[in-house]
Structure 1
Amino acid sequence: MAESLLLNNRYRLLTIIGEGGMATVYRAQDIVLGRTVAVKVLDERRADDEAFLARFYREAQAAANLDHPNIVGVYDIGQDGNRHYIVMEYVEGRDLKELILESAPFPIERALTIAIQVCTAVGAAHKTGLVHCDVKPQNILVAPDGRVKVTDFGIARALTSTPAVEGGDVWGTPDYLSPEQAAGKRLGPPSDVYSIGVVMYEMLTGRLPFEAESGLALALKHLRQEPAPVNELNPRVPPGLARIVHKVLAKEPSARYRTASQLAQILINYHRAGEAMTTVQRPVVVRREPQPVKLVPPSEERVGDYEEETEWEEERGWDWVAVVLGAVALVAVLGLAPLWTLVYNRYARLPPPTAPPPAVTLAGDEVLVPDVVGMDQEAARRLIEATGLQFMVIDEQHHETIPALAVISQVPTGGQPAKRGAVVEVIISQGQDLLVVPDLIGQAVEVVEPQLMDMGFAVERREEWSLMPIGTVLAQDPPANSVVSRGTTVILALSSGSRLPLEANLADEVLLVSCDLDRVEFRPGETVQLTLHWQALREMSEDYTVFVHLTQADGQLVSQQDIQPLGGAKPTTSWIPGEMVDDPYELAIPVGASPGIYWLKVGMYSQNTMKRLPVVEPGRARAERDSVLLGQIQIIP
């Protein structure tokens, strides 16, 4: 990384510490405050995509509003040219996934210490109305001293936001998806609690609760299967802790702990109780009347049920707070008496209600079929069988609105008579039709595009300069193995070959259509060869000069060539509107040029006024001070 690569003359990018499909994270130096920071830089190829930018800045805004010692802090957010970035707290350490792969299963003490810190961090987000939606070990950083930091709120959603899958948005990582995420339901804090449970399971056993060959198969397992108890895979896990993990991994959100903060308190209480059972206890004097005491030997089986705690207090006289509250309640009830009288008089004068429709007459061996459409499969089964009927699943289908494992339809329908023992046939929902995005990088678009469309995806192409063969997939969004809904648009960044599309409009007189550049790495003393492709938009009355400049990231000029097109053989006054002009250049790199990243910039100017033609529309390029930025090259030693 070049010493000269600065963002807004403040953040010097030093080394890459993490890379993803949409952004790269650097260790950087804040030269103003003199501190080390982490800078997440959005992929420049996404800088013109409003959806990507919205997602990128949503992460910054979500995390910036969270002030907690276990959440990676956000210091700054900004833009330098085409680079959008977030400046974050730098955490010296490793991500939890690396540690799990290296040494799991963890000792119980270590797993609890990490889990409690993760829970307090995510719980702080819940208190502000945010759901993280992507809790996984890769987003949990562990410092050498054991401190834990949760990061990456890139897909965090407000508790009042829309359901998990909307317009093809990517939500979560298949290994850590909650059942409601997999089903495309609205998410709440219990979804993060489930994901934390998966992380705990992995720390305690060294493996994930579910494994499958595809993301879709994983999502279905989260929806339908029960994981093996953690203490079966690791007998060192006490039964009490195993029960907590089992509860956290419940399929129904209501069966889990409500928030990460509640789970944190459960784990803290469990930890304290475990310590208390192995520590010499000091006698405690309690001023109470003698009571018969049932002696129970200490047993680990008593550890793990901490949702209700008993606090021993001294017996006291009158509870005056309760007396006052009771008096207030009595006054309120008496005050409602006139209202009750008014309501009674009003409804006493209403005409009698019409008779209900006649009830269905049942034979002695008949019952009414319950209406179970929309009910959970198991609840529907219990109700049908309790009525004296048989329950039979005849099909499973995807459904846009009815969640997975709920009843779509039934025969006979609800309210109809049927003989005892008759079969009620139901169709069960598989939830939204979810698809797993395949890995497309490096493949030819002619091959992958028909495959994607056959699978049910929409496809959007975007061309980018590359030395790869034309049509090769350079990047994709959503990333590989993402679980998304049918109809999601997959954006493919395709190689345009060595020809860089630009389409930059200069003064409505000439269009810089593209540029050919067949190399991006050079050594000092070598020559950059490029060809500019111009198109005249109208007749020009002046012979303009083309400039080709090589600059450092801070704008300092390193090398330049200023000359009329084709070395003066094709002046702009001779161009015919619509004519294409191929204009080659050679730019010498100084022998003493320092290794680093440099910019190629081009444009035209008038020799009479020495003013550049304004870039009225940069097209697919970037413009800076009426010069078109072709891109970066790297000078290597």
Structure 2
Amino acid sequence: MIGKLLGNRYEILEQLGGGGMAIVYKGRDNFLNRLVTIKILRPEFTCDEDFVNRFRREAQAVASLSHPNIVSIYDVGRENDVHYLVMEYVEGDNLKNLIRAQGVLPQERVVQIARQVAEALQHAHENNIVHRDIKPQNILITAAGRAKLTDFGIAREATTATLTQTDTVLGSVHYLSPEQARGETADQRSDLYSLGIVMYEMATGVLPFQGDTPIGVALKHIQEVPALPSSLNASVSPGLERIIIRAMAKNIVDRYGSARVLLGDLEGLTGQVFQDSGTAGQLDEFATRVIPAVKNKEEPSQPAKKAVSGPKKRRFAWLWGTLAALILVAAVYATFELYVNVPEIQMPNVEGSTLEEARATLQSQGFKNIQENRNHHPTIPPENVISQDPPPDTMVKVTRNVTLTISRGPEYRTVPEVIGYTLSDARIKISQHELIVYEPYQEKYSNDYPVGVVMDQDPKPETNLTKGSGVTLYVSKGPQPVLRKIPDLIGLTENQARGELEKVKLKMADNVIRATSADYMQGQIISQNPVGGSEVEEGSEVQVTVSNGPGPERREVEVEARIPDDGKRHELKIIVNDIRGSSEAYKKEHPPGRKVVREVPYYGKAVIQVYIDGKLAGEQTIDKQ
């Protein structure tokens, strides 16, 4: 693409980077002789109507915006299959690279960048545009230090139609709001959550949630509470920390309701008072209420009198001037006594108390400006104090505002039915209901459910649990295996062993081991694993070791037998049981009273058995080899 001319006007100079949807180039507008940024939709998406529409949506979204903290769009076009946007070129770098280079940013810089992004979001939100992908990579920092918001590629117009539509979950998972992670529609407060993550990263140098997979990170947005920024960077002020934590509230109603309110708190950190038209009016009203009061007393409405001349007139003027001065001094003194010359006391601890008890305690100490916030809490009963600001035991003036966070009690969630789901799908379903899966999950055999599928759950579906509670899942291991007893294979040949194993639905491992043996004949099995007599699942393999010889030497033993002298002929049989197995060494009929002597061969340890007419007549064990 380098050197290509788009629209007979925009020359592509070099590639700057790229995202999931588009490639970004540096270019030149040959008509106006200025540098521009050209964003070109990736070729693989040009045939995808959804991506093309999303690409056009960025142009439509940003074209309606005009703000110094938003990158401007100059032109949009198509040349053959190339869809492109022409935007303002920003000389500088993105915020992500700035954080990588500096680690932790100074608090003043964090507040400055956050204010500028909040101002950009305020303008976008006032024009019904929700960005939905706020992240440091989409915040450009100019050479002069100004923050500019870019990449409205997945922005939506926040109209009634879109607020009721569940869109595909898009955006960068590390900055995704909990409602986006659950597949719900993002609104203005979702952008503020993502900005809270960006502020957290600027202030601490790290992301609040990390994970091995995108789903793992998304679940943490829904379930986990991040470490306080001050625990990672002690220089983070309490004021900035409160702003970050409120922006990152998991419950959308606990976040800032608008970028304007967030701006007010950010500007408060820099000593500037954020004034909208209502606030300014109140301050002006206060000014005209105090100062003219002195003037009204100097010029009271009186009936017409004769003019006072000479010393008497000067005496009246002196009296009125003195009276005005006294009133002004009294007002200054009263203000000093009420708001400045106030002793500090130790802040009482009312956390855990009922609201009624907390108010009574604070009022008894002289605190009058007591405000309340209400949040759900899993363990603190309703109408009891969760936390207080200022914190307990700090030294404060009794004229200071005290904010109590009051418990609404547990927040309940309905347990979804996940029987029949795969384990991963069940986890996602449960997390979408803001519950967790108890680990480790339980495994059971089942003839009804395939391996890896949830076969039971506790509690049952439609049960109400407090938010964040756990559900135990019982996952199928498949059918109950059938156990088989392994036969003793020692001394058998490979073929004999395979036959014995097949009888009990087992099989011999393919990788047969071969070893030298002086005790077993070549081709005989000398060991097996598992051993004979143990039980294994049907279909299991048995590993065998086969002898390569040489085996034991051939030896002979003299066997003597006497035929009964009863006038009848008898059958004499000699059986040799040795390493080869059982074999018949001799068999023949003999006349009565005859003495028979035979040389019988054997290998290794042997047992020689003598049978007369099929009955055991004698047995001898030979250990000598």
Q: Higher relative contact order at CA 8 Å, sep ≥6: structure 1 or structure 2?
A: 1
Please identify the structure whose Cα radius of gyration is greater: 2
